[in-house]
């Protein structure tokens, strides 16, 4: 790795990076698709996952009431971390679970002005429950709780089915979408959410 003594012009005056936002329930395959995208997209891309932020937080025996604002601040900070990376000229693949309106509305505000492709990751509930049981590292019933909530706004730039297609095929569909028309989902959702 080179040792840089001065910032290059490319680093100090970047065009904002692109964002691919993968939205789906726990165990829907977002991380596997993100990993595949990083191996196939041109140029440097970064995978930022909301789970990573939860894993690096300190552990204490908080009550549910104590933990709720901590959890919410984690998500709000995650959105701003993604926006900061993109604002600095980095292309970012994000995996997230937008299961509550405030999560989506905050993203709509914080990601304004970014070239963001909003991708829905679908999978049937029985398959989600099977994956959840096989993984053994998720709270049982988490996917079922999120399932009716995460896609209810119904507007995407592209939707893929991770049950019918493997991560490589899903990533190929997403990569192809980047070469087509500009993204429209977030501008449309901004009008809906005011």
- 30 marked as binding residue: yes
Strand order in the sheet with 115-122: 45-49, 91-96, 18-23, 115-122, 158-161
Asked whether the beta carbons of 157 and 175 are under 8 A apart, the reply is no
- 28 marked as binding residue: yes
Q: Say whether 166 is catalytic.
A: no
- 24 marked as binding residue: yes
- 164 marked as binding residue: no
Asked whether the beta carbons of 115 and 187 are under 8 A apart, the reply is no
CA 173 to chain centre: 16
Indicate the helix (H) or strand (E) that contains 49: strand 45-49
- 25 marked as binding residue: yes
Q: Check 51, 115, 161, 166 and give the catalytic one.
A: 51
- 27 marked as binding residue: yes
Point out the annotated binding site.
24-31
Point out the annotated binding site for ATP.
24-31
Catalytic residues: 51
């Amino acid at each position: 790795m080179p040792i840089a003594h001065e910032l290059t012009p490319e680093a100090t005056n970047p065009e904002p990076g692109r964002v691919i936002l993968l939205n789906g329930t726990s165990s829907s395959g977002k991380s596997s698709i993100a990993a595949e995208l990083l191996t196939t997209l041109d140029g440097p891309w970064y995978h930022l996952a909301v789970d990573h932020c939860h894993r690096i937080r300190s552990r204490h025996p908080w009550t549910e009431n104590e933990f709720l604002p901590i959890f919410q601040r984690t998500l709000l900070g995650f959105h701003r971390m993604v926006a900061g990376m993109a604002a600095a000229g980095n292309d970012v693949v994000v995996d997230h679970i937008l299961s509550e309106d405030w999560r989506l509305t905050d993203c709509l505000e914080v990601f304004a002005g970014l070239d963001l492709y909003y991708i829905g990751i679908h999978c049937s509930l029985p398959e989600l429950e099977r994956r959840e049981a096989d993984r053994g590292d998720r709270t049982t019933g988490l996917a079922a709780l999120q399932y009716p909530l995460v896609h209810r706004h119904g507007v995407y730039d592209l939707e893929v089915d991770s049950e019918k297609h493997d991560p490589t095929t899903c990533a190929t569909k997403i990569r192809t979408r980047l070469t087509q028309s500009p993204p429209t989902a977030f501008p449309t959702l901004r009008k809906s959410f005011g």
